[in-house]
Amino acid sequence: MARTRLGALLTAGLLLAAAAPAAAQPVRVGSKSFTESYILAEMIAQVIEETGEARVERKFGLGGTGIVYAALASGDLDVYPEYTGTIARAILKDPGVTTPAALRARLAERGLAMGEPLGFDNAYALAVARTTAGRLGLRTLSDLRGHRELTAAFDPGFLDRDDGWPGLRRHYGLEFGDVRIMEHALAYRALAAGRVDVITAFTTDGQLAREAVSVLADDRKFFPDYAAVLLARRALAERLPRTWAALERRLAGRLDSATMARLNAEVDLDGRSFAAVAASFLGARDGGGARRATLTRELPALTLQHLVLVGVSLAVAVALGLPLGILAARRRRLGQLELMGVGVLQTIPALALLSFMIPLFGIGRVPALVALSLYALLPIVRNTYAGLVSLDPQLVDMAAVIGLDGWKRLGWVELPLASVTILAGIKTAAVLTVGTATLAAFIGGGGYGTLIVTGLALNDAATILAGAIPAALMALAVHALFEALDRLAVPRGLRRRAAGPSGAPGTVLP
């Protein structure tokens, strides 16, 4: 069967893709998916390139601490920018560890190294409009006490973290008239419009460098330190000592909060690219132009990556799903278990499934392909099963009477008769996968999701759409492709019946 051969070919391709990055040993630099992390990672990358000891592989925009740390721990990343508070709380899970020496000792047990602090803290803070601060004489968090008439807008994370609002409220004895949940970037706009009085801010927010906003001092030391540092595999410093020394020399202690806020503003508010901002900070001549131009140039490569993600994972899902569906139809009781299992896979949130893949397959394209293949399985298995169990019983009986058994019955009669339903399942899987594949970017899998993740980090609708619109167009194209494929793969006799207005009364159930 042609379909099986294609599946085998694509599986081989998948294995090759997995084996490829063993060649030269580049330094793999990671970042999380927010502006500051991108800029710092870009600085790290440029310093390494400047030193010339090793090539750099950029794995930016990974989806959160869990994913980036898992990638570092499994050896898929060599270095990325992190914050001491996050290291203590989210990675070591021990908020008691605060001094750099203690952090280093604990990280060393895991084969990791922490660089010297870069110089700034990216901590939570509360901010008010400068006019409000002047009018009420607010300079510190303690000054907020008793101002019950104020309205606050906090980001969702802050509202339920123990080191967020619940703790802060107890620590300072604060009470506001109204506390709303609002996304970070929106809160700044609401503050500017005078619709809220107090918002959560990060001490390096680009807006702080530009807008008439005052950050209130944490006079009674509630917020933990979130000093920016480089977090690296210890092997990196040992393998490339000159590079590690260069990173420390060029970055450690060089960035204060005001500088970082200004750099963030250049990206978030002025639309410059991460690379250009990092380059001008490092004193190089302006490396890249406007951010948008850079992103648009990437579109062909991202399209190809996205197509590979969809094509390979769909091929694997067909190669697995078709036999599973057939098995389920043949062994009904086993089939129920199987369908349940495949159904459960579908209930795992895509991002969680992707992050489960990291300990097994690291980050990048391979774990994304595995996760996407698993995700595409359900519609294919379900429809194969449904197509096979709902065949006209007379036609199935007739196959037995005629002397068709086993593979002949399956290949000559059952699969062709179920082909319309099976193909519909594959079509559903394909269109779904085009959408789900945008999440691959969170584990460094590439594709259109890269633009969406970057756009979300920048809060830039244009960049998000630059990823989302091509993905939607690709979904439409895939749909159209399958409509055409229907015409090829579905036997003529069945097509006519499906399309013809009169149908064939003699071939349907009585």
Partner 1 sequence: MIVLREVTKRFGAGPALDAVSLTVAPETTHVLLGGSGSGKSTLLRVVLGLLAPDAGEVTVDGVAVSPGRRAEIQRRIGYVVQEGALYPHLSAARNVGLPARARGWPAATIEARVTALARLVDLERPLLERYPAELSGGQRQRVSLMRALVLDPPVLLLDEPLGALDPITRTELQAQLVRMFRELHKTVLLVTHDVREAFVLGTTITLLDAGRVVQHGTFADLARRPATPLVTEFLRAQAPPPAMLEYF
Residues that bind partner 1 (CB under 8 A): 392, 394-395, 397-398, 400-405, 408, 412-413, 416-417, 419, 491-494, 496-497, 500, 503-508, 510
Closest by CA to 351, choosing from 378, 380, 371, 373, is: 371
Minimal distance, residue 331 CB to partner 1, in Å: 19
The one-letter code for the residue type at 31 is: S
> What's the one-letter identity of residue 218?
D
Question: What are the helix (H) ranges across 331-392?
Answer: 332-347, 350-361, 365-389
> Which helix (DSSP H) or strand (DSSP E) does residue 106 occupy?
helix 100-108
Which of these, 78, 86, 70, 73, lies nearest to 34 by C-alpha position?
86
Other beta carbons less than 10 A from residue 431's beta carbon: 18
Q: How many CB atoms within 10 Å of residue 404? A: 17
- CA dihedral of 378, 383, 385, 391, whole degrees rounded to 10: 170
Nearer to partner 1, 4 or 394 (CB): 394
Q: Which residue in 429, 411, 422 sits closest to 383, CA to CA?
A: 422
Residues 496 and 503: their CA atoms lie apart, in Å, by 8
CA 128 – CA 397 distance, rounded (Å) = 78
d(CA 427, CA 149): 56
**Residue number, 170 or 408, with CB nearest to partner 1:** 408
Closer to partner 1 by CB, 25 or 394: give it.
Answer: 394
**8-state DSSP, 28:** E
Residue 246 or 413 with smaller CB distance to partner 1: 413
CB of 400 to partner 1, least distance (A): 7
Q: How far is the CB of 321 from partner 1 (least distance, A)?
A: 22
| Least distance to partner 1, CB of residue 472, Å | 35
Q: Do 315 and 11 form a contact (C-beta atoms < 8 A)?
A: yes
Of 375, 323, 324, 379, which Cα lies nearest the Cα of 352? 375
Residue 390 CB, nearest approach to partner 1 (Å): 15
Residue 289 or 503 having the CB closest to partner 1: 503
In the complex, least distance from residue 407 CB atom to partner 1, rounded to whole angstroms = 11
> Of the two residues 146 and 510, which places its CB atom closer to partner 1 in the complex?
510
Tokens (6 digits) for 454: 């970057």
Query: Closest CB to partner 1 among 336 and 394?
Result: 394
Q: Which is nearer to partner 1, 73 or 413 (CB)?
A: 413
Residue in this structure with the two tokens 């990556």, named with its chain if needed: 305
